[in-house]
């Protein structure tokens, strides 16, 4: 019997991909970067499974053009690039990669928040430009992280891991807003308190966004929300572009509505709003929060586990829409 055909739509770790070879006939993207949508659809012809990242767009048009596709295995935890309802309607299973990236992503979120509060990138650029002629008492003086109020919008696994770092490592007071409250036994060790969104905006010294992107979270932080924050506050977004209105944020940073921002994700990335590139009080990174080698390997490995399990007749490890099974 012919082996099922699987497309590896993004270059990934060769030794991990090799685990698929005994089971499947593979076609692999050989270079970095993504195929165009038309090319992705062309390559998917005849494929039963596909390995994707958080950037490939899987929509009804693609699914209708690839009727033999049964499994979409993503190495990302977030899946706003996939139309899950369209998958489910066509009996296509989606699997994602939760848990394996939680701690690494929380490390990065905390690092980005600290870099933002302590003006690390801004001062480094100043030094590289050769502008450091003398030391000054308030030169690049920022705000403290230890003992400050950490606000978290979206208190899932990554939000809780950031709260743990703040509360236990830096003596921060933790407040959060989420659709549902954490169980008391999860709140207690962090001293975390659920608050309304407005209170979160008003009280946080450092606000970190860790909520999934959806129509409901589109522009959850815009001009109105930014105007409720403290002038000394920082905003860190490691969640998804589109949760923040980047144009409004650039204006708020220029006007001093808030002190600074750290952004790992952008609306329409890899494009970045041009005004964000010109304001000094923002730290910009190219969507790398989960980018440690061990974690990227674990994410790839989980995606491969899902492909092998599902397409050899087993149970998915981390299904998003198990109702199709």
Q: What is the spatial distance between Cα 24 and Cα 242, in angstroms, rounded to a whole number?
A: 37
Is the Cβ of residue 51 or residue 176 nearer to ligand 8YV in the bound state? 51
Q: Which residue is nearest to ligand 8YV (CB)?
A: 54
Look up tokens 């008391």; give the residue: 184
Query: Is 269 annotated as catalytic?
Result: yes
Q: Identify the burial level of 104 via C-beta atoms within 10 angstroms of its C-beta, where 0-12 means exposed, 13-18 middle and 19 or more buried.
A: buried
Query: Is 240 annotated as catalytic?
Result: yes
**Among 119, 240, 273, 296, the one annotated catalytic:** 240
Q: Identify the burial level of 77 via C-beta atoms within 10 angstroms of its C-beta, where 0-12 means exposed, 13-18 middle and 19 or more buried.
A: buried
| Contacts for 140 with CB less than 8 Å, ≥ 6 apart | 119, 122, 123, 126
| Contact map string, positions 271 to 300, toward ligand 8YV, x by CB under 6 A | -------------------x----------
Query: Is 124 annotated as catalytic?
Result: no
When binding is defined by CB under 6 A, the residue of 6, 50, 77, 250 that contacts ligand 8YV is 77
4 binds ligand 8YV (CB under 6 A): no
| Contact map string, positions 88 to 127, toward ligand 8YV, x by CB under 6 A | -------------x--------------------------
Both tokens assigned to 2: 């012919």
73 binds ligand 8YV (CB under 6 A): no
8 binds ligand 8YV (CB under 6 A): no
76 binds ligand 8YV (CB under 6 A): yes
Q: What is the spatial distance between Cα 256 and Cα 11, in angstroms, rounded to a whole number?
A: 42
Query: How far, rounded to the nearest angstrom, does the alpha carbon of residue 69 sit from its chain's CA centroid?
Result: 26
Mind telling me the catalytic residues?
Answer: 240, 269, 287
């Amino acid at each position: 019997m012919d082996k099922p055909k699987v497309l590896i739509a993004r270059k990934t770790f060769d030794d991990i991909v090799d685990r698929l070879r005994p089971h499947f006939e593979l076609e692999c993207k050989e270079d970095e970067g993504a195929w165009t949508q038309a090319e992705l659809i062309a390559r998917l012809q005849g494929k039963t499974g596909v390995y994707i990242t958080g950037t490939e767009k899987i929509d009804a048009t693609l699914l209708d053009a690839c009727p033999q596709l049964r499994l979409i295995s993503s190495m990302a935890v977030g899946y706003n690039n996939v139309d899950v309802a369209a998958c489910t309607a066509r009996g296509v299973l989606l699997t994602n990669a939760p848990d394996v990236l939680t701690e690494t992503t929380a490390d990065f979120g905390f690092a980005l928040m600290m870099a933002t509060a302590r003006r690390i990138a801004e001062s480094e650029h100043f030094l590289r430009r050769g502008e450091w002629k003398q030391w000054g008492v308030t030169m690049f003086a920022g705000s403290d992280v230890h003992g400050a109020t950490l606000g978290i919008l979206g208190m899932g696994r990554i939000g809780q891991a950031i709260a743990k770092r703040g509360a236990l490592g830096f003596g921060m007071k933790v407040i959060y807003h989420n659709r549902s409250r954490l169980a008391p036994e999860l709140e207690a060790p962090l001293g975390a308190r659920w608050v309304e969104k407005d209170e979160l905006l008003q009280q946080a010294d450092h606000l970190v966004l860790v909520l999934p992107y959806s129509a409901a979270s589109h522009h959850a932080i815009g001009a109105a929300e930014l105007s409720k924050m403290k002038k000394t506050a920082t905003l860190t977004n490691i969640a998804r572009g589109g949760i923040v209105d980047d144009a409004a944020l650039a204006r708020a940073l220029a006007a001093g509505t808030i002190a600074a921002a750290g952004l790992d994700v952008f609306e329409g990335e890899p494009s970045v709003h041009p005004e964000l590139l010109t304001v000094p009080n923002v730290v910009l990174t190219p969507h790398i929060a989960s980018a440690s080698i061990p974690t990227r390997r674990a994410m790839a490995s989980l995606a491969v586990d899902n492909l092998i399990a599902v397409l050899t007749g087993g149970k998915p490890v981390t299904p998003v829409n198990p109702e199709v099974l």
